[in-house]
Chains A and B, each alone.
Chain A
C-alpha cells in the first residue's frame, strides 16, 4: 500500500473535527517529510498523506492530490495565498492552510 495507514488513525470516527496533519507531521522524520507549503517553486515531491477535516480531505483527494501522486509547486498567488500545484499535468489551487495539511516526501 502506498498510502499511509498509521498517520490517519483517528479516535473518533467520522472525525469531522480531527486534525491529523499535526500528528502526521509530528510523527514523521523531518529529514524526508515536509508539508506541501514548504516546497520551493517548481520543486516536485510525492504525496504521502492528506490531512484535515474529512470533507476537505475528500475533496482534495478527489481533485487528484491523493497519497502516491506526484505534485509540483507552480506559483503563489499575487496576494500570497492561495498556491498553485501541478498534479500529473493538472493544475490545482489550494489555500495555504489546506496545503499545510498535506504531507509530502522527496
Chain B
C-alpha cells in the first residue's frame, strides 16, 4: 500500500540541453547538489544522467542530455538528445548557452523554439565572456526569444536559484523564423499531416533531408515536395539552415554590446602545446604521463585487493568446511570477485585522467596533433588515445573509445585494441622468453609488441575499407582551456567505473566459476579432471601449432578469463599446488590493514615517480620453482614461439570481452572473440613454421 502514500502532485520533468563545452554538466551538478544518479542506457553507449531535487515542495527530475550543436543528429549522442526531446513533453528545457559564443549557441535555441517546448535560457560562463571583454544585454535576448533568460556562472553556483524559479514560468518561445517563400509554402502543406506536437520542426527536418520517420500520407508528400523544390532550384537544407544561422547571428549581434576578444589562457597554452616543433614531443610526454599516472597509482591498490583476496581465502580455509566447498568459495567465488576488483583501480585512475583531459580541453588538442597519423588509418584523431591505452590494459582502452563520435570509427578502434599487448600478457612473454630465448628475450618481446600493433592497425584499416567512411568528417571544436573542478572529474570517473562493474561483474564471476568447475571436478588428481579432458581435446586442434602437451594447451582455457591466470594454471598442472593456508581472523585483519597503509604510502610515492625518467624494464618472471624446467622439455622452440603469438592475439580476457559487449552489444563482442581466435590461430600456425 506504500504506493498510495505517494504525493498526488506529479513530478516536474526538466531537460538540460546545450552545445558541448558550455558547462552544462557543471550546471546540472550545481542544481542537484550531491544527489547525482548516473544511468547507462544499454545499447546506446552514451550516457544520459538523471538527477532529482526538490523545488517548492515538488520533486523535480532533471535529465542531462549529451551536448549537441543542433537537433540535426549526426552523432550517436546528438541522436539521443533529439529523440529524448521529441519523445517527451518536459515541463521546461534548460537551454545552456555559452555567453561568449552566442551566435553558434543560439542556433540550437532557435531549433528548440520550433519544437515548441517551454524553454528557459541559462546564459552561462558569463565570467569568461566578461574576461574576454564581452558585454551582454540579457534583457534584449529575453525580449527577442520570448523566454526567461538567467545569467549564470555554474562553476561558482551563481544564478542557480533564479534559474529554477524561471523554469517554473518557462514558456514556449515566441520567436518565429520566416523561411524563404518556397520553404514556407511546403511547410504549410506538410504541417497539417504530422500528428506530433512539434509539427513545425518535424516538417522542416523532413524537408531538410533528416531521417525522420513520418506517417504515410506525410512521408509521401515529403518526397513530392522535395522534387518540386529541387525543380525550382531550391536546396531545402541550405535554405533552412541558412535562415536559422542568419537569425542566430542577427540576434547575437543585437545582444552583444561588443565583439569578444581572444581567450588569453587558450592563446598562451596553445602557443606551446600546438607548437610546430614542440607540440608533438610535449604531447607524447603528456601521454606517457597519463599512462604512468594510471598504472603507477592503480598498482598499489591492485596489490592490496589481491592481498584482501588472499586473506578471504585464508579465512575460508580456516572454516570447518568440506575441501571441495572451501575450494569453490576461495578460488571460484572470492577469486572471481577478485578478478572483477582487480580492474577497478586501473579503470578509476584512467577515467580520472581522461575526465580531466576531456574537461580541460587537452583531449581535443591531442586529436589536432595526431590527426594526420590517424587519417592514414582512416580514423579520426581521437582514436589515438584508446589505441595507446590498450598497451596498459585493454578494458579501459575500449571504454575510452567513448570519446569518439562516430559509431563505426569507435567500433573499428575497439576491434583493433585487443591486439595491443597489455601488461597481463607481458607476464607470459617474460616467462617463456626466459626459458626458450634467454639471449634474445628483449628482441622477442619487442617483436611481439610490434606484431600486436601491426595486426591491430591492419584490422582498423581493413574494417575501414569494408565500412563507408564517416560522413560527418572530422571537423571539431577546440574548446577553450578551462580548469575543471575536482568534483566534476571525481564524480565522472567514479560513475564510469561503477557502470563498468555493474555491467561486467556478473559475467566475469560466472566465467571464473566455470573454470573452477573444470579444474576441480571430478575431485582428485588434475590429470583426471574435466579440465584435462578438455585440454587433451585441444591438443588435437593445436597440433599444427606444434603445441602437443595437454597442460600447455589447457592453460589457454583459463587464459580466456585473464592472461595472468595462464602461468598459475601451468604451475598447478605441472607441479600440483599446495592448498591455501588457513588464516586466523585477527591475523587476516592485520594483513588487510597493513596492506591498506602500504597502498596509501605507495600512492603517495607514485607522485614523484611521475616526474622520473621512464625506463622499459622487463619484470622478472613470477613463476613457481621448477616450472621452467618442466616447461622446457614439453615444447619445442618453434612451438613456444607459436604459443606466445597465440597468447598475444587470442581473446585477451573476459573483461575486455565484457567491455566490448557493454559498448557495442553481444553480437560485436562475439564476432570480435571469433575474429581474434582465427587471427591468433593463423599467425601462430605461421610462427610454428619458423625454423629455430
Q: Is the CB of B260 within 8 A of A14?
A: no
Q: Complex: how many Å from CA A95 to CA B241?
A: 22
Q: How many residues of B contact A (CB 8 A)?
A: 61
Tell me whether A78 is interfacial, beta carbon within 8 Å: yes
Q: Which residues of A contact B104 (CB under 8 A)?
A: 63-64, 87-88, 90
If A58-B241, A59-B74 touch, whether A93 touches B475 (CB-CB below 8 Å) is yes
Q: Is the CB of B235 within 8 A of A8?
A: yes
Tell me whether A80 is interfacial, beta carbon within 8 Å: yes
Q: Complex: how many Å from CA A42 to CA B260?
A: 17
Q: Which of B101, B238, B274, B472 contacts A59 (CB 8 A)?
A: B472
Most chain A beta carbons < 10 A, residue from B132, B227, B238, B263: B238
Q: Is the CB of B233 within 8 A of A5?
A: yes
Q: Is the CB of B475 within 8 A of A63?
A: yes
If A68-B246, A92-B478 touch, whether A98 touches B369 (CB-CB below 8 Å) is no
Tell me whether B343 is interfacial, beta carbon within 8 Å: no
Q: Is the CB of B367 within 8 A of A93?
A: yes
Q: Which residues of B contact A68 (CB under 8 A)?
A: 245-246, 249
**Segment with Cβ contacts to A, from B80-88, B371-379, B564-572:** B371-379
Tell me whether A44 is interfacial, beta carbon within 8 Å: no
Q: Is the CB of B475 within 8 A of A98?
A: yes
If A2-B246, A58-B72 touch, whether A90 touches B368 (CB-CB below 8 Å) is no
Minimal beta-carbon separation of A101 from chain B (angstroms) = 10
Q: Which residues of B contact A91 (CB under 8 A)?
A: 266, 477-480
Tell me whether B522 is interfacial, beta carbon within 8 Å: no
Mask: chain B, 451-480; 1 = CB below 8 Å from A; 0 = not: 000000000000000000001111111111
**Segment with Cβ contacts to A, from B147-155, B275-283, B429-437, B483-491:** B275-283
If A68-B246, A89-B262 touch, whether A84 touches B475 (CB-CB below 8 Å) is no
Q: Which residues of B contact A88 (CB under 8 A)?
A: 101, 103-104, 259-260
Q: Which of B236, B266, B476 contacts A93 (CB 8 A)?
A: B476
Q: Is the CB of B107 within 8 A of A62?
A: yes
Residues 67-94 of A at the B interface (beta carbon under 8 Å): 67-69, 75-82, 84, 87-94
If A58-B74, A92-B476, A98-B473 touch, whether A80 touches B372 (CB-CB below 8 Å) is yes
If A13-B230, A63-B477, A78-B369 touch, whether A89 touches B101 (CB-CB below 8 Å) is yes
Q: Complex: how many Å from CA A22 to CA B46?
A: 37
Tell me whether B209 is interfacial, beta carbon within 8 Å: yes
Q: Complex: how many Å from CA A106 to CA B375?
A: 31
Minimal beta-carbon separation of A82 from chain B (angstroms) = 5
Q: Complex: how many Å from CA A60 to CA B69?
A: 10
Q: Closest A-chain residue to B371, C-beta based?
A: A82
If A78-B275, A88-B103 touch, whether A54 touches B368 (CB-CB below 8 Å) is no
If A13-B226, A81-B371 touch, whether A67 touches B242 (CB-CB below 8 Å) is yes
Tell me whether B664 is interfacial, beta carbon within 8 Å: no
Q: Complex: how many Å from CA A10 to CA B233?
A: 8
Chain A residues near B (Cβ < 8 Å): 1-3, 5-6, 8-10, 13-16, 52-56, 58-69, 75-82, 84, 87-95, 98
Known: A62-B72, A88-B259. 12 other contacts (CB 8 A): A13-B230, A16-B471, A60-B475, A63-B104, A66-B245, A75-B270, A75-B274, A79-B372, A82-B372, A88-B260, A91-B480, A98-B473
Chain A to chain B: the 4 pairs with minimum beta-carbon distance, closest first: A55-B471, A79-B372, A62-B69, A14-B209
The contact sample of 6 A-B pairs, CB cut-off 8 A, is A6-B233, A60-B473, A84-B478, A90-B477, A91-B266, A93-B475
